[in-house]
Structure 1
Amino acid sequence: MPTTIPALPCADLDQTLAFWSSLGFTVSYTQRKPNPYAVINADDYCLHFFGLKQLAPAENYSTCLIIVPEVEHLHEQFSQHLRASLGKVPVQGFPRISRMKPGQSRFTLTDNAGNSIIFIKQSVEDAAAAQAYQNPELSPLQRAIAVAARLRDFKNDDLAAAKTLDHALVRYRDAPNFDYAQALLARIELAQALEQAQQLEQLTAQLNSLDLSPEQYQQLGL
């Protein structure tokens, strides 16, 4: 049976293997000559790495998709390992891990060499969530929220998601308070992830100033 195995680059093979080992992966093969190469394993999948001298993580666009039975527990497991080895769960720089919201079907783990490994729980709901912004019944502000969610959860582009919401929050200020609160909550989460302290304070003040019913507060999880 044909098998496809992607090989991911890294400038320092030892550093990359050390990183993945800290996450619980097992190194099953290494070679130094004629070219640096290694294989790591976890459960029923593996990743292959090859040495590429002078590779800068910011210039590495290598990506690999891994389909797994579930993602929430795996994300928490990786986050615990990262916190133990780095003292925090990094969401920017190298390495980093994307945030995970309840019910989300994927996350991205980017290693110290800049390789982005996307762990996906494939489902019909996942495909529907990625295309939610195309629903013709959405209001302009609801569509902006859905576009931002797509950028955040499926494109891993927090900055673009934040810009989308910033524009919508200015343009659709006369939207229903509940919809506006949803947009503010989404932007607050991004401000936290992007470490935008000033924006976070302003957005929180805006949210607190909205006139919402007790039922709406409950729906929003506030």
Structure 2
Amino acid sequence: MCYVKVDNVERIYEEFTSNLKKNIGKIPRSGYPRISKLKELTNDQRFIVTDISGNTLYVGTPYGERPDSVFWRSLESAKYAKHFEVLYDLTYSKEDYRTAQNMLDKFFPPITDTFDACTLDWAKVLLVTLDLHKLSSQTIHKSVNDKLQQLLKTNGPLTPEWNKIKQKYEDILKGE
């Protein structure tokens, strides 16, 4: 594997994905070859490309403590914060969906139960759950989707944070 540092990862990602759509009619997210979604991680924004032989390129633009990065990877609840950060990294950085699902099942309550943290934290957990399910099975988890819709209707988009939640939710549904 190799890390390729670029000045504008969003532009490079857009070029990769638009050419894939044009040439093969889709963006391959699993199997070989494949390309990941654009990810916001602690130290950079990146995507991963794996060729037909399994060679992997991490393409990214480093940044410091960017507020968006901290927003997506963190929870206010001290009870869940560390587990959520690991869950986020397993899902988006390592793309280890099986381990991420096991962690989700072990450390977070069932999605239909009451989550004993603020609703914004719950929305973040549900977003990762929804995306994890879609990434691993290519389907939308109905009860997670319903709960997210309910939270969005009840809590957002009144603040910039809830606007971010709504945008990410729409991106997951569109497959972005």
Do they fold alike, i.e. is TM over 0.5? yes
Cα RMSD of the aligned pairs, angstroms, is 3.2
Task: Sort the Cα spacing of 1:78 and 1:87 in 2 relative to 1 into closer, same or farther, 3 A.
Answer: same
1:22 matched residue in structure 2 = none
The separation in 1 between residues aligned to 2:164 and 2:18, in whole angstroms, is 30
Aligned with 2:109: secondary structure?
A: helix
Gaps of 5+ in 1: 1-62
Give the alignment partner of residue 50 of structure 2, picking from 110, 125, 136. Answer: 110
Give the alignment partner of residue 203 of structure 1, picking from 136, 144, 163. Answer: 144
Q: Which structure features the higher share of helix residues?
A: 2
1:164 matched residue in structure 2 = 103
Instruction: Give the letter aligned to residue 5 of structure 2.
Output: I
Please say if 1:74 is aligned against 2:12. Answer: yes
Aligned with 1:163: secondary structure?
A: helix
CA contact (8 A) 2:33 2:50 kept: yes
1:137-176 mapped onto 2 (5 Å cutoff)? 139-170=78-109, 173-176=115-118
Task: Sort the Cα spacing of 1:160 and 1:76 in 2 relative to 1 into closer, same or farther, 3 A.
Answer: farther
CA contact (8 A) 1:108 1:119 kept: yes
The separation in 2 between residues aligned to 1:110 and 1:200, in whole angstroms, is 27
TM superposition outliers: structure 1 runs of 4+ over 6 Å: none
Please say if 1:221 is aligned against 2:163. Answer: no
Residue correspondences, number: 155
How far residue 83 of structure 1 moved from its aligned partner, in angstroms, is 1.5
Larger CA Rg, structure 1 vs 2: 1
The separation in 1 between residues aligned to 2:91 and 2:54, in whole angstroms, is 18
The separation in 2 between residues aligned to 1:66 and 1:178, in whole angstroms, is 34
1:86 matched residue in structure 2 = 24
Aligned with 2:137: secondary structure?
A: coil
Worse-superposed segment, 167-176 or 109-118: 167-176
How far residue 94 of structure 1 moved from its aligned partner, in angstroms, is 0.2
CA contact (8 A) 2:40 2:46 kept: no
How far residue 69 of structure 1 moved from its aligned partner, in angstroms, is 1.4
CA contact (8 A) 1:109 1:117 kept: yes
Post-superposition Cα deviations, 1:166-198, rounded to whole Å, max 9, x if no partner, equal 33332783222221121001211222222353x
Worse-superposed segment, 137-146 or 74-83: 137-146
Q: Which structure features the higher share of strand residues?
A: 1
How far residue 208 of structure 1 moved from its aligned partner, in angstroms, is 3.4
